[in-house]
Amino acid sequence: MQGVVNFSMKPRAEISELYDREKEVKQIQGVIGRGDWLSILGPRMVGKTSLARAILDSYERKGWNVLYVDLGEAKTAKDLFSMLYMQMPKGFIERAEDIASRFNIEISRVKIGYTPGSKTMKAIDYVLNNLPRKKIIIVLDEFQTVASGINELKGTFHKLMMEGKNLVFIFTGSAIGLMKTLQEPKGDEPLAGRPPAEVVLEPWSESLAKEYLRAGLKGCGVPFTDEEIDDVTARLGTLTGWLNYYGRGREDGRSHEASLRKAEADAKTVAKTELGKAIAGSAWRKKALKMMGIESHFNEMLTETNVSPTSLTKFLDRMERMYMIEKNGRNYSIADKMYRSAIREM
């Protein structure tokens, strides 16, 4: 299957570096061709950033203006403005400085001075409304981190979206909720009329994951056995990021067992961070997640956690929207193997 296989730990930057994402690439090209916006969603480490960056690269080659903004560290609207500014290509910078001065925002390449919220919002609004009116794609990666802070910008996004084909936003992140923020049909006409298309990335099937490992190991000249390949997917699951951890270990000269152990440890570290955020210091949430480390019925969790059905439902919905858990009738379980191992150790 297409795509150069190498076990890079960084997000991919070109379509030729993507393994097995032709279906999604085609789908996205279709959406952009219609001038619609989209969101790329899926669990952590599945390849959202890679796909978004590769798409940007392909459009940049066709002469589009592209802008990639990583909002992973953003907490507030001020951060959003600051990051939009910092990622701007050269031509935009004078414009940004001009904008900042109009709104009395102190701005430099490394820091942005304090400004009250509404002023920052006005500045963002201004930046967005003054983008060049030629083909431009803007990726807002990890958009969910600021989604709650952008209520005041819904009107701006709405207006930009209705304007037509020359500006496309791609929102990516691990939570479907982020799109809801933009689509909610309350307030001032958000994107209810033309909700962004959703592209959901799923972890690979077991056979595809194995194919990927074989191709990659062959590519870097590392000998392997079928048992080893089976062992990797049996223990790590099929999430692209985890497979790369393992492959990189082999490429660096580690044995099968040592690579696998290190990949498991590294994956569990990521998983524990995410689970910790989901638990947010609450004993009952932790209990529920532990129960879903195997599989648990709603009623069982209700009895054990002793919270109201509404609270439990809300929590489970949120976990499902973040692709952390899967629902099967009234039974719930943590989706990824590494997350299941991690929760057992928490």
Ligand X SMILES: Nc1ncnc2c1ncn2[C@@H]1O[C@H](COP(=O)(O)OP(=O)(O)OP(=O)(O)O)[C@@H](O)[C@H]1O
Residue nearest to ligand X (CB): 47
Residue with tokens 């989604």: 147
Q: Quick check: 39 binds ligand X (CB under 6 A)?
A: no
Q: With CB cut-offs between 5 and 8 Å by kind, which of ligand X, Mg ion, none does residue 12 bind?
A: ligand X
Nearer to Mg ion, 107 or 140 (CB): 140
Nearest alpha-carbon partner for 146 in 96, 50, 87, 78: 78
**Residue selected from 19, 157, 169, 171 as contacting ligand X according to rule CB under 6 A:** 19
Q: With CB cut-offs between 5 and 8 Å by kind, which of ligand X, Mg ion, none does residue 65 bind?
A: none
Q: How far apart are CA 152 and CA 295, in angstroms?
A: 40
Beta sheet of 167-173, edge-to-edge order: 65-70, 136-141, 167-173, 38-41, 197-200
Q: With CB cut-offs between 5 and 8 Å by kind, which of ligand X, Mg ion, none does residue 21 bind?
A: ligand X
Q: With CB cut-offs between 5 and 8 Å by kind, which of Mg ion, ligand X, none does residue 216 bind?
A: none
Nearer to ligand X, 49 or 120 (CB): 49
Q: How far apart are CA 329 and CA 146, in angstroms?
A: 32
**Residue selected from 19, 21, 39, 49 as contacting Mg ion according to rule CB under 5 A:** 49
Helix (H, G, I), strand (E, B) or coil at 40: strand
Q: Quick check: 39 binds Mg ion (CB under 5 A)?
A: no
288: its two tokens: 């529920």
Nearest alpha-carbon partner for 37 in 184, 150, 193, 148: 193
Q: Quick check: 244 binds Mg ion (CB under 5 A)?
A: no
Residues facing 67 on adjacent strands? 138
Helix (H, G, I), strand (E, B) or coil at 45: coil
Helix (H, G, I), strand (E, B) or coil at 112: strand
Nearest alpha-carbon partner for 17 in 45, 47, 49, 54: 54
Provide the minimum distance between the beta carbon of 252 and ligand X in the complex, in angstroms, as a whole number: 14
CA 91 to mean position of chain CA atoms: 28
Q: Quick check: 219 binds ligand X (CB under 6 A)?
A: no
Q: Quick check: 48 binds ligand X (CB under 6 A)?
A: yes
Beta sheet of 331-334, edge-to-edge order: 296-297, 331-334, 325-328
Q: Which stretch binds Mg ion (CB under 5 A): 46-54, 191-199, 262-270, 326-334?
A: 46-54
Q: Which stretch binds ligand X (CB under 6 A): 12-20, 109-117, 146-154, 160-168?
A: 12-20
Q: With CB cut-offs between 5 and 8 Å by kind, which of ligand X, Mg ion, none does residue 186 bind?
A: none
Helix (H, G, I), strand (E, B) or coil at 333: strand
Residues facing 139 on adjacent strands? 68, 170
Nearer to ligand X, 45 or 288 (CB): 45
Q: How far apart are CA 303 and CA 202, in angstroms?
A: 32
Q: Quick check: 149 binds ligand X (CB under 6 A)?
A: no
Nearer to Mg ion, 8 or 282 (CB): 8
Span 152-191, contacts to ligand X by CB under 6 A: 174
Q: Quick check: 238 binds Mg ion (CB under 5 A)?
A: no
Q: Which residues bind ligand X (CB under 6 A)?
A: 3, 8-12, 18-19, 21, 44-50, 174, 240-241, 244
Q: Which residues bind Mg ion (CB under 5 A)?
A: 48-49
